[in-house]
Structure 1
Amino acid sequence: MAAAPEVKSADANVQAGAISTIVLGFATDPMARWAWPDPSVYLRTMPRFVNAFGGRAFEHGTAYITEGARAVALWLPPGVEPDEAEMDAIMEETLRPEISEDIGAVMKGMAEHHPLEPHWYLPVIATDPTWFGQGLGTLLMKHALRRCDEEGIAAYLESSNPRNISLYERHGFKITGRIQSGSSPVLTPMLRPASRAL
């Protein structure tokens, strides 16, 4: 029987490859493609956006990958935030003017739903589409949530793809609201309460 794939912390040496996996994994994501429907704009912008949104995970040893960076999860530890100034700059440069008001409302909704208590935040998790259905996302979730339980700290995410909600629910996340504005797809905030490992 083959050994289960290993989860490792990704450092700066594999950062570009890990971000490429996320870009591939989000190629059909409703929110990402609403923001950047033009393929060349998406491919040019998404790596920068992912780095601003979750890239600080690489600095903290909390960017987790499976072998060959086939699946990647960027977790931000309690107190570590996305680079909002860079995210704003990217969106100002690249977004179509007709959606800027709706994006602003979505970002405001994200800020309002963010828990106030200390928590681990998952800005992005993605699998290279070639490796969908192999359980790699589940493996990454279990790896990170084990640490949340050891520390007795909550975990939080926003699901930008309705297809992934059941995966998160299986790992103890509960829907805490709904974020949507105008033409935007729905973003679903989800919280996994703090619990201690037994």
Structure 2
Amino acid sequence: MTLINLIRPQTDAARSPANRALNIIQRAFQQDPPVRWLYPDDADYRAYFPAFAAALGAPAFQEGTLGLNAGAAALWIQPGSEPDESALCEIIDRSLPAHRKADAFAVIQEMGAHHPDEPHWYLPVIGTQPDMQGHGHGSALLRPVLEICDRTGVPAYLEATTERNRALYARRGFVATAEIRAADCPPLTAMVRRPG
């Protein structure tokens, strides 16, 4: 199944873990500053952001590193895997006007430049449904992979998009390493968690 087909509702497939995760992520990121910079129009956001998130977190679906519970979804990428760059390029080409594509690619390139050099777990997307935030759903999806990181001596990396998210990740041992700025996108914070 391609990533584009993955997000299209299809009878029983619409209830698949991947589709449930993308539905949660779509609701979770409705007010996210960098995401809404990318898709400021509500119709474009609904039409294209799920495919963008699916491409960014593609290995989570393909390699079984998707975290999902009643209120949250996390697209973890294990060491040695990467986002689906060709799918990301395709969705940007298809969903953005020509004058905004270079800015979107600049943000993605800058995000990639801040990853740790050594093997690491990457969390490109985690989201909790707005009505379920603050009840530990997101933290529950961080815990198992961070335990793997501690057990195997491997760092974890993510980009925080809001002050609230930065605070949550800092409580879980992530440390800000850089502010990511490109084009006129709201800044993201690169954060690394060293194994404990």
Asked if Structure 1 and Structure 2 have the same fold, meaning a TM-score greater than 0.5 normalized by the shorter chain, the answer is: yes
For residues 67-117 of structure 1, give each alpha carbon's deviation from its aligned partner in whole angstroms, at most 9, with x where no partner exists. Answer: 3xx211110100010001110111111123343333232122112111110
Counterpart for residue 122 of structure 1:
123
Alignment of 1:1-198 (within 5 A): 13-67=16-70, 70-195=71-196
- Offset of residue 41 of structure 1: 0.7
TM-score (norm 1): 0.87
- Offset of residue 18 of structure 1: 1.0
Residues 106, 183 of structure 2: 8 Å contact kept: no
Give, in whole Å, the separation in 2 of the partners of 1:181 and 1:75: 24
TM-score (norm 2): 0.87
- Offset of residue 143 of structure 1: 2.1
Cα pair distance change 1:104/1:55, threshold 3 Å: closer
- Secondary structure, aligned partner of 2:79: coil
Misfit runs of 4+, over 6 Å: none
- Identity of paired residues, percent? 41
- Offset of residue 14 of structure 1: 1.4
For residues 129-155 of structure 1, give each alpha carbon's deviation from its aligned partner in whole angstroms, at most 9, with x where no partner exists. Answer: 121111111121122211111111100
Give, in whole Å, the separation in 2 of the partners of 1:85 and 1:95: 15
Residues 28, 129 of structure 2: 8 Å contact kept: yes
Residues 31, 161 of structure 1: 8 Å contact kept: no
The CA RMSD measured in Å over matched residues stands at 1.5
Give, in whole Å, the separation in 2 of the partners of 1:176 and 1:187: 11
- Offset of residue 180 of structure 1: 1.1
Cα pair distance change 1:59/1:100, threshold 3 Å: closer
Residues 78, 121 of structure 2: 8 Å contact kept: yes
Unaligned regions of 5+ residues in structure 1, if any?
1-11
Aligned AA for 1:36? Y
- Secondary structure, aligned partner of 2:191: strand
Cα pair distance change 1:170/1:154, threshold 3 Å: same
Q: Larger deviation: 87-96 or 75-84?
A: 87-96
Counterpart for residue 4 of structure 1:
none
- Secondary structure, aligned partner of 2:110: helix
Give, in whole Å, the separation in 1 of the partners of 2:98 and 2:163: 26
